[in-house]
Structure 1
Amino acid sequence: MCGFVFQLVAALPLSILANHTSPDGLQTETITFTFSPTILTGGCRVSGLSSSLGFTTLLDGGLNYCNLFNLLSGDGLTSAPGYMELTNEWACLGYGLATCKA
């Protein structure tokens, strides 16, 4: 997340909306986390979406995936009991090339 700015836009009962901006202000992404209950475990499922507002390429190191991963790992949530990541290259373009640096 080194030098990147995350700004909370809204915290709603079932979602969190934020913006992510690079230090030079040239890259901006919108981030949405949506929460839904899980019936079998009584837990919570979180779906994350990071969308670039400007031009991006396949060579951006998986920027949108890293936005989400860095937020979760920076807060220690990737080590929380029951944490499970479910994604792939089809669901998250650039996932296979991601080079996240928290």
Structure 2
Amino acid sequence: MPLSKEDVAAIAEYARFHLTDKELDEMTDYMNEAVRLLQPIREYDLEGVKPTYQPIGDLSNVMREDVVDDHDRALDLKDAMHNAGSTHDRYFRVPSILGDEEEA
């Protein structure tokens, strides 16, 4: 069932948009085209399919604890900082991307 000009005018009023008569005609055509493009989705057999609100289902947290699990795998601080262009104590120094700080 296509949207009428009155439907689109009501939507525009609800959204607090002022549309001229020409804009109302264009928007009615545009919205009806959008509805038409979505029509194939309505043809899927969804009997018994539960709504999904989370695309990964019941999975709530996929992150592991951030702990060192094997000291042999941890990189020594000196080795980690060896090739850094600039450092401060145990941190890498990088140029500001915001441009509001002095060069370090």
Do the structures match in fold with TM over 0.5? no
Relative to its length, the structure with more strand (as a share) is: 1
The alignment's TM-score, normalised by the length of structure 2, stands at 0.22
Name the larger-Rg structure: 2
Q: Which has the higher helix share?
A: 2
Superposition TM-score, scaled by structure 1 size = 0.22
Higher RCO, 1 vs 2 (CA within 8 Å, ≥6 residues apart): 1
